[in-house]
Amino acid sequence: MEQVVYGHALALFQLGREMEAQQTLREAIEFLPLVAEGLARSYHLLPRDLHPDRVTHGGRDQAYYYWQDQGQYWKNTPGAIEFVRGQVSGSADPTQRRFSAWLGQHRDTEAARQAKALPLRRDMVTLLEYVIENKVVGTQSTGNMPLKAVREVAARFVDPPELDTSIGERVFRLRSEAEVRPLYFLHVLAEVGDLLAIAPARRWRVTHGGEEFLDLDPFMQVLFLLVTWWHGANWLTVYPFAAMGDALPSAFERVTLTRLLSLQVEERVPFREFADGLIAETGLTWGRQDSSLVTLMLQASIERMVIEILASFDAVASEYRNKPLGRGTISELDTFAVTPFGKTLLEGVAVAGG
């Protein structure tokens, strides 16, 4: 039904019959308002309540599917998206209005400069462009990138990761994409954010959303990626230990965001103190309670899922110290601080999440 009512409005607009198009679009908005709001958005995330076996009439999933299938026709029609935005500007949902207002206040020159230079953003663009230019067929078992492509893409990154490890005379060769953490993290973001369509034994494909991402300005690209991680991804993909279970406590992401936003910019925060407070408030647990390493493993999970991820966005600055271990030392996270750029991004994540 949404294809009919919104398609009729688009057809009239394309024919130059704007008065009729305006009336038809208003009727469509009254019937299915979230579809218009989806067309007007500058970013699109997979709805959390998406169901593979059904579509909710009037729901965000229906709006998302319409944008995914038909958004390209609106986008490719000059003036059509602006036409929709003009009709929904007074009726958009409160979250969209707050986000638009926030964006107008915070998309400043310094944030734009930092976003443009961010290696994570540049590497995502590299990944998407590689998939556009090359035939990448996912592996039979997982759909991951084959090793030849992994090596070619990783070599183009801003800071190419080491793929093979040498210990003495032995060389341990790369076995799978999942071993290359910077690339696999981008894979997760691209799949969850619907930038790439990935399936076992199928060719990787840049989606309409991926093409739209490449057209965004750098600041919006960075914000989209962090919002995708915060509100769309399963954080356990970067800390995949069975003892963590299949999902984090329901309020974990929200509490983490609230605690981070409560910190002063550039204030040095003891990591273990922050991690222990987060563990206690959210009820984060380690499945094998008899282990003497429970606290260390939970702290390590927060370092991996929160601090290291935010560091890849230049949202936190971390300080490490050397800790004695046997006859040598190991480096461990001592303190961290939220950067000015990080504060801006975290505020954007909060506004985008409603």
What is the CATH number for 196?
Answer: 1.10.10
Looking at the structure, do residues 181 and 244 belong to the same domain, yes or no? no
Looking at the structure, do residues 174 and 245 belong to the same domain, yes or no? no
Does residue 99 sit within a domain?
no
Residue 234: predicted pLDDT? 93
Looking at the structure, do residues 54 and 122 belong to the same domain, yes or no? no
Residue 271: predicted pLDDT? 97
Residue 51: predicted pLDDT? 64
Looking at the structure, do residues 212 and 240 belong to the same domain, yes or no? no
Choosing from 166, 187, 216, the residue where a domain stops is 216
Choosing from 92, 120, 140, the residue where a domain stops is 92
Choosing from 187, 216, 245, the residue where a domain stops is 216
Looking at the structure, do residues 75 and 163 belong to the same domain, yes or no? no
CA distance 280 to 277: 5
Q: Where are the beta strands (DSSP E) in 218-300?
A: 269-270
Residue 94: predicted pLDDT? 60
Looking at the structure, do residues 63 and 130 belong to the same domain, yes or no? no
Q: What is the pTM of this model?
A: 0.80
Does residue 228 sit within a domain?
no
Looking at the structure, do residues 35 and 87 belong to the same domain, yes or no? yes
Looking at the structure, do residues 126 and 204 belong to the same domain, yes or no? yes
Looking at the structure, do residues 142 and 179 belong to the same domain, yes or no? yes
The pair of structure tokens assigned to 164 is 């093979």
31 close to 5: Cβ distance less than 8 angstroms: yes
Looking at the structure, do residues 249 and 183 belong to the same domain, yes or no? no
**pLDDT tens track of the chain, all 354 residues?**
677 888 898 888 888 888 888 889 888 888 888 888 888 876 666 665 666 667 777 777 788 888 878 888 888 899 888 888 888 765 555 666 676 677 777 767 788 899 999 999 999 999 999 999 999 999 999 999 999 999 999 999 999 999 998 888 888 899 999 999 999 999 999 999 989 999 999 999 998 889 889 988 999 999 999 999 999 899 999 999 988 988 999 899 999 999 999 999 999 999 999 999 999 999 999 887 666 688 899 999 999 999 999 999 999 999 999 888 777 778 899 999 999 999 999 999 998 876
Does residue 227 sit within a domain?
no
Does residue 118 sit within a domain?
yes
Specify the DSSP class assigned to residue 179: G
Residue 42 domain boundaries: 2-92
148 close to 237: Cβ distance less than 8 angstroms: no
Looking at the structure, do residues 77 and 131 belong to the same domain, yes or no? no
CA distance 29 to 22: 10
Residue 113: predicted pLDDT? 93
Residue 104: predicted pLDDT? 72
Measured in whole angstroms, the distance separating CA 192 from the mean position of its chain's CA atoms is 7
Residue 309: predicted pLDDT? 98
Residue 72: predicted pLDDT? 85
Percent of the chain that is helix, strand, coil (3-state, to 5): 60, 10, 30
Domain count, the chain: 3
Does residue 251 sit within a domain?
yes
Does residue 105 sit within a domain?
no
Residue 187: predicted pLDDT? 97
Looking at the structure, do residues 33 and 76 belong to the same domain, yes or no? yes
Does residue 247 sit within a domain?
yes
Does residue 45 sit within a domain?
yes
CA distance 192 to 185: 11
